[in-house]
Amino acid sequence: MLSDWIPDYDATAVKRMKDAGAVLMGKTNMDEFAMGSTTESSIFGPTLNPRDFNRVPGGSSGGSAAAVAAGFCPIALGSDTGGSVRQPSAFCGVQGMKPSYGQISRYGIVAYASSLDQVGPITRNIADMAAVLGVLAGPDPNDTTCDAYERPSFSETASAGIKGKKIAVLTGYDAESMDSPLIEAIEKAVGYCRSAGAEIVEAKLPITMKHAVACYYMVALGDASSKLACFDGMRYGHHSDGRSLVEMYKRSRNQGFGKEVRKRILIGTCILTRGYYENYYVPATKVRQMIADEYAELFKGVDSLICPISPALPYKKGLVEEDPVRMYLGDAFSSIANLAGLPSISLNVGFTEEGLPTNVQLMGPRFGDAGLLALAHAIENKAGSPPIADIEKKGGCRE
Amino acid sequence: MKRRSVIGLEIHLQLKTKTKLFCSCSSDYIGATPNTNVCPVCLAVPGTLPILNDHAVELGVKIGLGLHCSISDNTRFHRKHYFYADLPKAYQITQYEHPIAVGGYVDIFADGKEKRVRVHHLHLEEDAGKLVHPTSDGRLTGASILSLTTTAGECRFLRSFRNPT
């Protein structure tokens, strides 16, 4: 739909990076309209995972994560609606963050779901992450959902340490169904926190664990069908002629959108129609509030939460075709932060014997981004920041 | 068989704001060349976001108070979806539940008597574009509208307007 489109204005996030002296090296590959977890739905073709060319880099911001992991650039940006920055960061073995909702302006982000979307930086270490957040975060008259609170210096606060902090570890989910190296990664991260002086407690979040994925897909797909309705080929984007207005719309949209996008728009439209709206969408928005409340309650007693980011190690190519539902369930942990508007970091704590990255998820209270970066920094001090992927050794990226 | 007419009115008031409801384009469309006074926001270019015009809200509240309405503490906007050539976002930002003002009335003279027309609610919404087939003109798109909805009531007095003396 937008393959030939060149925007005539800069997103605020891009403008801020440029104003800070960043050099824009190029655009990276992604799942079409940010709908996907593998980058395989891109009309430009898939992206290889620099850590293992037979596996996907994750998605939807797979290209950005792969670029950083492969050493093409130290910083890449993506947008995270249900995990689209953090899950590819986990699959490619780099650091990814979704700041609090309202931290960074969404002006210029092609919307997928307005109440869930947030710009997210991807870097190889937390010091860079804090610096980038410092550049990107701040109010914007073009986005009223971007909060005007006075941000601290994220770079300064990142090295604050976690001595005396209370950190919860999520329990109560089915660890058996997860890839075991990811469970070990959690244990490793917890150990690092202890040795850095933090107190560890356990936390159960029953409502969230039970309902997050379903809630996310109701809310996101409803919003997506709404936000993608403007793509009718009349003012921009792919246009197909027709004998009537409706025929033009149908042809432009059927031809311009890929299969996954069409699927999600149809489901979302269905969810918003009378009969379904009251029974699916509205309850989902209420459950969403319950999830946010469950977390607000949690963060009254603790400073941060450690939990998985993905239940699985990087998928082999083609999983989407085989088992789409399993792919959707992969958002179980990552979508929570979007639903509740909370900051979340996908942090690399090591690699398996086969060289596959193992990341963990860190979550904090709304606008507790500084504290969350401090936690990530403290763990990274022990775990080390991930190395650049050795793509030359694997036969180069021209494979 | 006797029939009674039950009539309710929905009246669109164009608010005299300098700029449109959700962007800073001039709303002074009269005499302007077609498709001027447009911007990425009112043309629904991807990535744009609506910024609510404070003055429109102020005017809505003022009119609400003038009509003896109760002004809502909490008012919300909703998206009304449909596909049409004069609707760039394919949804109109309007109000559904929680409009800006509810209740209220206006007293008029009809049939020599004073009649009270009850106001059901007032809500803010953006205007669509203008269609002069086969073209579409975005001058009006996004202009501020205050929609006044009366209650549906017996309006027998309107019969006298059918046969003016």
CA distance A207 to chain B (A): 27
Answer whether residue B160 shows pLDDT above 70. no
Report long-range pairs for A251-255 (Cβ below 8 Å, ≥24 apart). Answer: A253/A1
Q: What value, to the nearest 5°, has the Cα angle with vertex A252 and ends A246 and A256? A: 150
Sign of CA dihedral B69, B72, B73, B75: negative
ipTM of the complex: 0.91
In this prediction, residue B138 has a pLDDT band, given cuts at 50, 70 and 90, of: confident
Answer whether residue B156 shows pLDDT above 80. no
Q: Is B24 on the interface with A (CB under 8 A)?
A: no
Contacts of A37 (CB under 8 A, 6+ apart): A31, A58, A59, A60, A83, A84, A87, A320, A327, A330, A331
User: Could you give the angle at which helices A126-136 and A12-19 cross, rounded to 10 degrees?
Assistant: 110
Helix, strand or coil, per DSSP, at residue A188: helix
Report the pLDDT value the prediction gives residue B159, as an integer from 0 to 100.
Answer: 54
The percent of chain A in helix, strand and coil, each rounded to the nearest 5, is 40, 15, 45
Report the pLDDT value the prediction gives residue A398, as an integer from 0 to 100.
Answer: 43
Sign of CA dihedral B92, B97, B100, B105: positive
Torsion of CA B105, B108, B111, B114, to 10 degrees: 70
Q: Which residues from chain A sit within 8 angstroms of residue B80, using beta carbons?
A: none
User: Which segments of B23-140 does DSSP mark as H helices, in order?
Assistant: 54-66
Residue A203 backbone phi and psi in degrees, to 5 = -140, 140
User: Which segments of A84-237 does DSSP mark as H helices, in order?
Assistant: 86-92, 126-136, 154-157, 180-195, 206-227
Q: Are B117 and B105 in contact (CB under 8 A)?
A: yes
In this prediction, residue B136 has a pLDDT band, given cuts at 50, 70 and 90, of: confident
Indicate yes or no: CB of A236 within 8 angstroms of CB of B46: yes
Torsion of CA A338, A339, A340, A343, to 10 degrees: -10
Contacts of B36 (CB under 8 A, 6+ apart): B139
Q: How far apart are CA B121 and CA B3, in angstroms?
A: 27
pLDDT in tens, B21-31: 999 999 888 88
Q: What value, to the nearest 5°, has the Cα angle with vertex A122 and ends A120 and A128? A: 110
pLDDT in tens, A153-201: 999 999 999 999 999 999 999 999 999 999 999 999 999 999 999 999 9
Nearest CB to B52 within list A144, A232, A234: A144
Q: Are B6 and B153 in contact (CB under 8 A)?
A: yes
Q: Are A251 and A62 in contact (CB under 8 A)?
A: no
Q: How far apart are CA A35 and CA A16, in angstroms?
A: 26
Report the pLDDT value the prediction gives residue A329, as an integer from 0 to 100.
Answer: 87
CA distance B139 to chain A (A): 15
Indicate yes or no: CB of A235 within 8 angstroms of CB of B45: yes
Mean pLDDT for all residues in chain B = 87
> Mind giving me the DSSP string for B40-62?
TTTTT-TT------HHHHHHHHH
Which residue of B43, B48, B53, B80 to mutate against A (max A Cβ within 10 Å)?
A: B48
In this prediction, residue B112 has a pLDDT band, given cuts at 50, 70 and 90, of: confident
User: Could you give the angle at which helices A180-195 and A369-383 cross, rounded to 10 degrees?
Assistant: 100
Torsion of CA A182, A184, A189, A194, to 10 degrees: 160
CA distance B125 to chain A (A): 17
Contacts of A213 (CB under 8 A, 6+ apart): A328, A329, A331, A332, A335
CA distance B91 to chain A (A): 8
Q: How far apart are CA B99 and CA A30, in angstroms?
A: 40
Q: Are A94 and A341 in contact (CB under 8 A)?
A: no
pTM (2 d.p.): 0.93
Query: What is the chain A residue with the closest CA to B89?
Result: A230
Q: Is B40 on the interface with A (CB under 8 A)?
A: yes
Report long-range pairs for B129-138 (Cβ below 8 Å, ≥24 apart). Answer: B129/B85, B129/B86, B129/B87, B129/B88, B130/B86, B131/B85, B131/B86, B132/B34, B135/B34, B136/A234, B136/B85, B136/B86, B137/B34, B137/B35, B138/B34, B138/B35, B138/B37, B138/B38, B138/B42, B138/B43, B138/B88
Residue A132 backbone phi and psi in degrees, to 5 = -65, -40
Indicate yes or no: CB of A143 within 8 angstroms of CB of B89: no
| Tens of pLDDT, residue by residue, chain A (399 residues) | 999 999 999 999 999 999 999 999 999 999 999 999 999 999 999 999 999 999 999 999 999 999 999 999 999 999 999 999 999 999 999 999 999 999 999 999 999 999 999 999 999 999 999 999 999 999 999 999 999 999 999 999 999 999 999 999 999 999 999 999 999 999 999 999 999 999 999 999 999 999 999 999 999 999 999 999 999 999 999 999 999 999 999 999 999 999 999 999 999 999 999 999 999 999 999 999 999 999 999 999 999 999 999 999 999 998 878 888 888 889 999 999 999 999 999 999 999 999 999 999 999 999 999 999 999 999 999 999 999 999 886 544 443
* Among the ranges given (A168-172, B70-74, B149-153), the one the predictor scored with the smallest mean pLDDT: B149-153
Residue A96 backbone phi and psi in degrees, to 5 = -135, 145
Contacts of A238 (CB under 8 A, 6+ apart): A1, A2, A3, A252, A255, A256
> Mind giving me the DSSP string for B6-31?
EE--EEEEE---SB-SSSSSB---TT
Q: Which residues from chain B sit within 8 angstroms of residue A108, using beta carbons?
A: 47
Indicate yes or no: CB of A229 within 8 angstroms of CB of B47: no
Q: How far apart are CA A332 and CA A327, in angstroms?
A: 10
User: Which segments of chain A does DSSP mark as H helices, in order?
Assistant: 12-19, 62-69, 86-92, 126-136, 154-157, 180-195, 206-227, 245-256, 259-272, 276, 282-301, 319-322, 324-329, 335-340, 369-383
Higher pLDDT among residues B161 and A130, named by residue: A130
Query: What is the chain A residue with the closest CA to B137?
Result: A235
Q: Which token pair is A271?
A: 């969810």
Query: What is the chain B residue with the closest CA to A109?
Result: B47
In this prediction, residue B140 has a pLDDT band, given cuts at 50, 70 and 90, of: confident
Q: Which residues from chain B sit within 8 angstroms of residue A256, using beta carbons?
A: none
Longest dimension (CA), chain B: 58
Amino acid occupying residue A283? P
Indicate yes or no: CB of A107 within 8 angstroms of CB of B89: no
